[in-house]
Chains A and B, each alone.
Chain A
Amino acid sequence: KAGVTQTPRYLIKTRGQQVTLSCSPISGHRSVSWYQQTPGQGLQFLFEYFSETQRNKGNFPGRFSGRQFSNSRSEMNVSTLELGDSALYLCASSHRSLSTDTQYFGPGTRLTVL
């Protein structure tokens, strides 16, 4: 079974630009969660989509948004990029909504904002 895939793996943007990241979950998984990982703040929950609906949301500004398609693939968008948005963005998929015991992470997209 193929794992969670994320594209692109690396991205360099400048302040003020916007970026879209993509996540393809494990086949059959309907839940996709997004996380931001930085050395200072660690791993922080952004939001979760389940069957195309946002189910849960973390404590991030509205510049961070996402969506999920009917095939469960998900995209995350960050508008008006700031230097502090430089991070590893991880997505995780699971069968059930934010199921803590069956969550599989992708390799992440490393975003650098200059």
Chain B
Amino acid sequence: QKEVEQDPGPLSVPEGAIVSLNCTYSNSAFQYFMWYRQYSRKGPELLMYTYSSGNKEDGRFTAQVDKSSKYISLFIRDSQPSDSATYLCAMAKDNYGQNFVFGPGTRLSVLP
């Protein structure tokens, strides 16, 4: 079993839909959870950063962490074609990221 699991997709949704992206993990030592967006031929861009369990909202994006279930989610409201990208979850044991682990990424297409 991989340390971080993520459905690779592709996931296609119509413009305006609510998108739910998810990751599960096995290592209970992870405390820091990140979501990155990666456009084609570009490096990943940090979208959301959360510590421990709970929710964090930033504009159309909401990140949720459920440490008891070892499950994290990223919700995108009112999705736009510009949201079409690969979304990577990542997690670390501490803020200095010595054991960064990334999910394989989910490819999202938002259709106009």
Cα distance A108–B34 in the bound complex, in angstroms: 20
B17 located at the interface, meaning its Cβ lies under 8 Å from any Cβ of chain A in the complex: no
Known contacts A92-B43, A101-B49, A106-B43; decide if A43 and B98 are in contact (CB<8 Å).
no
Whether B95 pairs with A101 at a CB distance below 8 angstroms is yes
Query: Which A residues, 42 to 62, have Cβ-Cβ distances below 8 Å to chain B?
Result: 42-45, 56
Q: Report A's interface with B, CB cutoff 8 A.
A: 4, 42-45, 56, 90, 92, 96-101, 103-108
B46 contact from A44, A98, A101, Cβ within 8 A:
A101
Q: Pick the 3 closest A-B CB pairs, nearest first.
A: A105-B43, A43-B102, A98-B97
Binary per-residue interface labels of chain B (75-106) against chain A in the complex, 1 for a CB within 8 Å, 0 otherwise: 00000000000001010100111111011110
- Chain B residues within 8 Å of A, Cβ to Cβ: 32, 34, 41-46, 49, 88, 90, 92, 95-100, 102-105
- Grouping DSSP codes into helix (H, G, I), strand (E, B) and loop, the A interface class, with mixed when no group exceeds half, is loop
The distance in angstroms between the C-alpha atoms of A92 and B49, with both chains bound, is 16
Also in contact, A100 and B102, with CB within 8 A (given A43-B88, A107-B43): no
Taken together as a complex, chains A and B put the C-alpha atoms of A108 and B41 apart, in Å, by 8
- Set of chain B residues within 8 Å of A97, measured between Cβ atoms: 96
